[in-house]
Amino acid sequence: MSATLYDQLQAVTDEASFLAFVAALHADRLAQEQGENTGWQAQGIAAFLEAALAWGETTQLGRTQGLRDASPWKRCAMLLYSGKLYE
């Protein structure tokens, strides 16, 4: 069974796992564009960046959501993941 996008997000600890997450996020977006409902709220790059920025500012890049001690790689992955979902 393959890991879900969320599972890959949780596994981010370093550069290699961050890049693997970004590849999975890309594949997730392509699936959405091909008609599969993968839960993307953002429609287009501007909306994606706006959502990611809003999450980053609101949560102090995850510090207020328990990511204070997380690696910078994990916090950046969460920023990108939030661009998918945050409204």
Q: What is the pLDDT of residue 62?
A: 87
Residues of the chain with pLDDT under 50: 1
**Rounded distance, CA 76 to CA 70, Å?**
10
**Rounded distance, CA 33 to CA 26, Å?**
11
pLDDT in tens, 20-40: 999 999 999 999 999 999 999
The burial of 74, by beta-carbon neighbours within 10 Å (0-12 exposed, 13-18 middle, 19 or more buried), is given as buried
Q: What is the pLDDT of residue 65?
A: 87
Whole-structure pTM value:
0.89
Q: How many domains, in total, are found in the chain? A: 1
**Rounded distance, CA 32 to CA 40, Å?**
7
**Rounded distance, CA 47 to CA 7, Å?**
24
3-state helix, strand, coil in the chain (%, to 5): 65, 0, 35
Q: What is the pLDDT of residue 2?
A: 61
Range of the domain at 29: 5-85
Q: What is the pLDDT of residue 78?
A: 94
* Residue-by-residue DSSP string for 47-69: HHHHHHHHHHHHTTTTGGGTTTT
